[in-house]
């Protein structure tokens, strides 16, 4: 039969999409657990097969939507989270698996809210998290759909549907979010050199912040950010040449920067000023410990003093009442130049970039 042949073929080679297509055409004649077993076995052989991951998502969506019992769906999805954990223990950078995990999280949220949308996007999840709060969610498009519905059907969630959810549901959604946050923490603690975990964390942080804002037991954003900086500092003190944590550090610097909407609330100019200074001192120490042979330290110092200059200019322009311990603009600019000159010396492969940046500086 088609099922037997396709099963055999896919176990050996899960890449051909058209064979998975055949199995999907036969879906009325099979069960979820058969498809889950087949995709899991294929993925053990080739954990990066696009076709196998897609088939698994498609089948989960198909069966969960046609199954009326949300407890069964919950069980299925919990097992899928465990599968992700297992696969990520084998290869913590497998982006297919990270994407699959985010698909499952979206599905968990939809199931909790009894909403029939399982496309991998977090629109439902985020609306549910912010239900009843005065806050606008940072963005609905945090995670986009990974599989769509047959053409012609647009999957949108009427806000009223979410409005009717209970507060208990909202707490469950927050627990799902926190579980993801904790998962990234665990992966990072297992191995700092996990850009995939840090990437996910960069997406979760804005949600953690705003959700925490409405929950008085939670840390406020300054404390969260302070401990985030601590986390990355531990990482790059341990392995200064591993670029992973430095990228996340850059994300944190950008995140701290006050914008028009947050400037007068918790992420103030004063907090940003202090964060920049703290990081500058910490990294100057590291660079000294490394005898100046710390490329990423110099890159980050350049970024920090550039942001300091930019902050001072903004504050002066807008007559914002804060003080600066170090406000000598020409001196800061000189420091920026010194960083670039040092980089040309110790990172010659990328010297043209640093030379371009020096030209930009002199043009300012």
Partner 1 sequence: MEENQEDPPFFDNLHESYITSLAAKLDAPTSYEGAVTEHLRMSGVYWSITALSLIRSADEVDALMDLTGSIVDWVFKCADPQTGGFGGNIGHDGHMLYTLSAIQILAVADRLSDPRLDKNRVLKFISSLQQPDGSFCGDAWGEVDTRFSYCAISCVSLLGALVPGISSDDKQPPGIDLDKAVHYVASCRNFDGGFGCVPGAESHAGQIFCCVGALAIAGALHLLDDDLLSWWLAERQCDSGGLNGRPEKQADVCYSWWILSALSILGRVHWINTKKLQNFILQCQDDVDGGIADRPQDMADVFHTFFGISGLSLLGYFKAGEGESDRVYREIDPLYALPVDVVQRLNLTGQVISETINPTDERLGKYDVISRGGNINISK
Binding site for partner 1 (CB under 8 A): 12-13, 15-19, 21, 24, 50, 54, 58, 93, 95, 98-99, 102, 120, 122, 138, 141-151, 154, 193, 195-196, 199-200, 202-203, 206, 242-244, 247, 250-251, 254-255, 257, 259, 261-262, 348-350, 352-353, 356
Q: Which is nearer to partner 1, 186 or 328 (CB)?
A: 186
Rounded to whole angstroms, the Cα distance separating 355 from 343 reads 10
Q: Which is nearer to partner 1, 70 or 99 (CB)?
A: 99
Residue 223 C-beta: closest distance to partner 1, Å: 19
CA neighbor of 210 nearest in space, from 128, 262, 264, 135: 135
Q: Which is nearer to partner 1, 203 or 333 (CB)?
A: 203
Q: Which is nearer to partner 1, 144 or 292 (CB)?
A: 144
Answer positive or negative: Cα dihedral of 336, 341, 342, 343.
positive
Rounded to whole angstroms, the Cα distance separating 228 from 234 reads 10
Distance from first CA to last CA of the chain, Å, rounded? Answer: 72
Residue 93 C-beta: closest distance to partner 1, Å: 7
The angle that helices 243-256 and 269-289 make with each other, rounded to 10 degrees, is 160
Q: Which is nearer to partner 1, 19 or 83 (CB)?
A: 19
Residue 259 C-beta: closest distance to partner 1, Å: 5
Rounded to whole angstroms, the Cα distance separating 88 from 228 reads 23
Residue 71 C-beta: closest distance to partner 1, Å: 27
Burial class (CB in 10 A: 0-12, 13-18, 19+), 181: middle
Rounded to whole angstroms, the Cα distance separating 200 from 103 reads 13
Query: Which tokens is 259 given?
Result: 């914008």
Residue 300 C-beta: closest distance to partner 1, Å: 13
Q: Which is nearer to partner 1, 233 or 250 (CB)?
A: 250
Residue 41 C-beta: closest distance to partner 1, Å: 17
Answer positive or negative: Cα dihedral of 58, 7, 67, 95.
negative
């Amino acid at each position: 039969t088609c099922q037997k042949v396709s099963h055999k073929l896919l176990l050996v080679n899960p890449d051909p999409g058209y064979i998975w297509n055949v199995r999907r055409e036969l879906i009325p004649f099979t069960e979820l657990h058969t498809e889950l077993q087949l995709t899991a076995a294929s993925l053990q052989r080739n954990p990066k097969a696009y076709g196998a991951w897609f088939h698994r998502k498609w089948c989960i969506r198909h069966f969960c939507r046609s199954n009326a019992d949300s407890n069964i769906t919950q069980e299925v999805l919990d097992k899928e989270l465990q599968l992700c954990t297992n696969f990520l223990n084998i290869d913590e950078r497998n982006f297919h698996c990270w994407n699959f995990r985010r698909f499952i999280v979206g599905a968990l949220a939809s199931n909790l809210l009894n909403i029939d949308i399982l496309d991998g996007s977090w629109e439902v999840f985020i609306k549910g998290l912010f239900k009843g709060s005065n806050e606008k969610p940072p963005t609905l498009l945090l995670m986009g759909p990974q599989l769509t519905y047959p053409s012609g059907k647009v999957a949108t969630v009427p806000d009223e549907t979410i409005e009717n959810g209970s507060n208990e549901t909202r707490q469950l959604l927050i627990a799902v979010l926190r579980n993801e946050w904790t998962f990234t923490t665990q992966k990072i603690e297992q191995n700092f050199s996990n850009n995939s975990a840090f990437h996910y964390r960069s997406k979760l942080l804005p949600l953690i912040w705003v959700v925490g804002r409405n929950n008085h037991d939670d840390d406020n954003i300054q404390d969260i950010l302070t401990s985030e900086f601590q986390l990355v500092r531990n990482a790059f003190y341990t392995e200064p040449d591993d670029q992973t944590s430095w990228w996340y550090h850059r994300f944190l610097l950008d995140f701290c920067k006050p914008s028009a909407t947050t400037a007068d609330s918790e992420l103030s100019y004063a907090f940003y000023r202090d964060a920049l200074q703290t990081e500058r001192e910490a990294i100057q120490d590291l660079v000294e410990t490394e005898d100046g042979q710390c490329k990423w330290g110099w890159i980050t110092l350049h970024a920090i003093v550039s942001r300091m200059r930019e902050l001072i200019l903004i504050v002066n322009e807008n007559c914002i009442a804060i003080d600066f311990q170090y406000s000598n603009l020409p001196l800061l600019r000189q420091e920026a130049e010194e960083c670039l000159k040092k980089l040309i010396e110790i990172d010659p492969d990328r010297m043209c970039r640093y030379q371009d940046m020096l030209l930009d500086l002199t043009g300012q």
